[in-house]
Homo-oligomer: A and B are copies of this chain.
Amino acid sequence: MRTEVRRLKKVKLRSPILVEGLPGLALVGRLAVGYLVEALGAEKFAELYSPHFPYYVIVDSEGRIRLPRGEFYYWKNPDRGPDLMLLVGDSQAQTNEGQYEVATCVLEFARSHGVRMVITVGGYRTGEGGSKVVCASTSKELLVKAVEAGAEISPPGSPIVGIAGLLLGLTGFMDMEAICLLGETKGHLPDPKAAKNVLKVLSRLLGIEVDFADLDKSIEKAARIERSLMEVEIGDILGREAGEGREGRRPPYIV
């Protein structure tokens, strides 16, 4: 088995933009892009499989199993704006080379559909877990637009790790532009609030409207969970576990 995209349906897209949200820190990207898929009613048209994904299968609520994978959705913009290609999934690649291989595969597939612009979404950790969204990009113009949409320029120094970063870096070889939006998070639990903050910037950047009603419910639920965790005083333990590097086994909530 090689890293490959399996197409479920042939689609033709108009000046599409790729938006990536695979699982990462506090699931911010996964939650944000996953919500966007739901909110827009985007349709799945391809799956990405790789021997660099974890060597397990996932069991759903009916006992059905499947391999970890990336899923490509598309959304036809009813207005003049660009169509969207949305990438969510179960996992990132588990090795250094695998990360480069999967990211390259994603970009080649996107490009074959005419994608020229890539937006990656994720989280960045701070002690406070405020509501900032920072951005970094291959293009000065994109940075300006993101700032207009509510983001701040990322401070220099700390690298952007994983596929959200690599996709940006690799666009340079493929005549594409890319920007990364990272939502502030404490990072020790799935963080729908950070996802919403990112989505607000993203939707403005894309010029689309998103109804956040369902996401607000998730935020309330997550807040309740966090409060009850703190009450039983195990918050710090969970924090420690979630803080482990992604080299190790993923914490269960990522699957």
Contact = CB atoms under 8 A, between A and B. Distances in A.
A49 B96 CA distance: 13
Q: How large is the interface on A (under 10, 10 to 19, 20 to 34, 35 or more residues)?
A: 35 or more
A135 interface: yes
Interface stretch (A35-43, A60-68, A184-192): A60-68
Interface in A26-80: 49, 51-52, 54-67
Interface string A151-188: 00111111111110110111011000000100000000
A96 B55 contact: yes
Given A51-B97, A96-B51, A156 B66 contact: no
A218 interface: no
Interface in A98-114: 98-101, 103-104
A172 B56 contact: no
A161 B169 CA distance: 28
A1 interface: yes
A170 B140 CA distance: 41
Contact of A154 (B51, B63, B153, B161): B63
Given A94-B96, A96-B54, A97-B52, A159 B59 contact: yes
A137 B55 contact: no
Given A52-B97, A59-B160, 11 more contacts: A54-B161, A56-B162, A56-B165, A57-B136, A57-B165, A57-B169, A59-B136, A62-B140, A63-B137, A66-B138, A247-B249
A121 interface: no
A157 B255 contact: yes
Contact of A136 (B63, B162, B170, B180): B63
Nearest to A51: B100
A15 interface: no
Contacts of A165: 55-57, 65
Q: Which 3 A-B pairs have the closest CB atoms?
A: A51-B100, A67-B169, A55-B99
A126 interface: no
A127 interface: no
